[in-house]
Chains A and B, each alone.
Chain A
């Protein structure tokens, strides 16, 4: 039994416990472990890097504040990610912009997107995809992230966003169309994607 504290964190459990004990070194190590990945998640959910950093900071404050509630330290990875995702959702619940852009997108008469195109799109450069995601309306971007990347079902997304499941499906469908529209506008040819 240590008398004056531990100085190293060999396991995730020790790291979590150190954070729960408000040890600054543990908090710093915990932050360094998750900061890059979590900020990447925030970037996917936002239009700008500034918004991403706001969500990121708010999420980590919640992590350090409520880390005492984490009873299973080995599940810290999923717990932190869940906190970040929920923080992003709450952020857009507070700052939901009027959906005036949706009408302009709905007016585009492009051929409907196919799953093959979206799969090919996924193999494209990350920066391009992120740029395309950022151009989506906030609500569409949320659904795409939650459905395609986080792996939630339509029903779970409906519960998270407190909207009907049909709305979730329609928004995802429209989001797919918009993504391909953006790809066409960027000049990415289908033959290149197929090649």
Chain B
């Protein structure tokens, strides 16, 4: 009869029974159905999803970094002021009527004629365009009127009115006392440009009537622009040289695309309004330096070189580390700090994952008989796998330098991190390079690669290994826009 007494004697007969049953079921296996296996492996896709998320994050960071490098945003260049641009356009040759000879002047040989239809550009200073204004004592004289006949300069002008609304130049040759003709483009341009020339537009003091005998004018009609053959040049005004068979009627030359001016053309230049182009506020980068803070997030990956402690009582074999940039080595660090010129100080917090697995061969042995040796000694071994997430806090100091027109950043510095769960501190050197990107008018993003090398060594959990860390990360920093 089976006894239910609670004593050790009951265990002995059951021991044999237990051994028989264990031997019966020792090799008992039931293969799982494929659907069940698939279901189980898919549920463990939480790890796959984690890896997928890591892959997506890595690709996004790589895309952001490469986009910042391939499509630079120029921070340091200033746009051209509109006034300067307008002045530069005016310097292009606009009208180039051609005359065969200097003597037979049926038209005015003008090479670089600054059109009198537009205000005279005095100078371009600091992006503003000012109109030259002659002194007030000079007699005002109309330059050109859209209709009617006026002398270009009454004081010395030999111009005579012509029938109709044409302004032309008669055949009298007005020769400058010098060797140059009267209205050469170079001279006229010089006259027009020079702010110190007191002569009215069109004449200089050195111009005078010559005693050359007047020659009868060629009876050739003056024609306007519309009568000219079409020109291929699509410049603002006709810039192609015209044949002497088609003298140009200046009065009928009209600019194609220039909008109408607000002032009358008959107004003396001294009375013309000053055109000033104010630099656009948005065209000039504004550096706001009232904030010196910055915040950055640094996803990390962890390399480590391991060495054994020289005073260890055991020896290690099969010391391995996980692959770099594998999901198990990812950590992160969040930094916040302040900047002062090129220096910056920050506080940091984050998490570092440390991996190490190795086989420990202890100084203990057991007897394990074999077929050949009944007293074979086998050393006790154990495998150790350390997979820990180490929170860390720290502080650092570094210096940043901007390169290539403030588009790229290079940083060198140091950081001290404390691992509270291991009571270990890590002193490391930091270095990195990155790119500046504009987020908005007042905020910029800095993306770059950072590397930190530990100057001291960390200990493994069981103090068997020295770990030399090398941390690589991608830095994402947000800070107010500055020149530093």
Contact = CB atoms under 8 A, between A and B. Distances in A.
Interface of A: 1-6, 11, 13-14, 16-17, 20-24, 27-28, 31, 35-37, 39-40, 42-44, 52-53, 56-57, 60-61, 64-65, 68, 70-74, 112-113, 115, 118-119, 122-123, 126, 129, 147-149, 151, 153-154, 165-166, 169-170, 173, 176
Contacts of B10: 169
B383 interface: yes
A17 B357 contact: yes
Q: Which 10 A-B pairs have the closest CB atoms?
A: A22-B47, A36-B29, A5-B323, A21-B328, A122-B20, A148-B21, A39-B30, A64-B44, A40-B28, A40-B30
18 contacts: A3-B323, A17-B387, A21-B322, A22-B48, A22-B50, A31-B40, A39-B29, A39-B32, A57-B43, A60-B40, A64-B44, A68-B387, A71-B384, A73-B357, A74-B383, A147-B18, A148-B21, A173-B4
B382 A112 contact: no
A40 B29 contact: yes
A123 B22 CA distance: 11
Interface string B362-400: 000000000000000000001111110000000000000
Interface residues of B, number: 56
Contact of B382 (A28, A40, A74, A126): A74
Contact of B28 (A52, A112, A126): A126
Given A39-B30, A147-B18, A53 B322 contact: no
Contact of B37 (A3, A14, A31, A123): A31
Contacts of B384: 71-72
A64 B46 CA distance: 10
Most chain-A CB neighbours within 10 Å: which of B4, B11, B40?
A: B40
A153 B383 contact: no
Contact of B18 (A3, A37, A148): A148
Contacts of B33: 53
Contacts of B258: none
A43 B30 contact: yes
B36 A123 contact: no
A20 B383 contact: no
A14 B358 CA distance: 10
Nearest to B43: A61
A72 to B, nearest CB: 6
Interface string B268-308: 00000000000000000000000000000000000101000
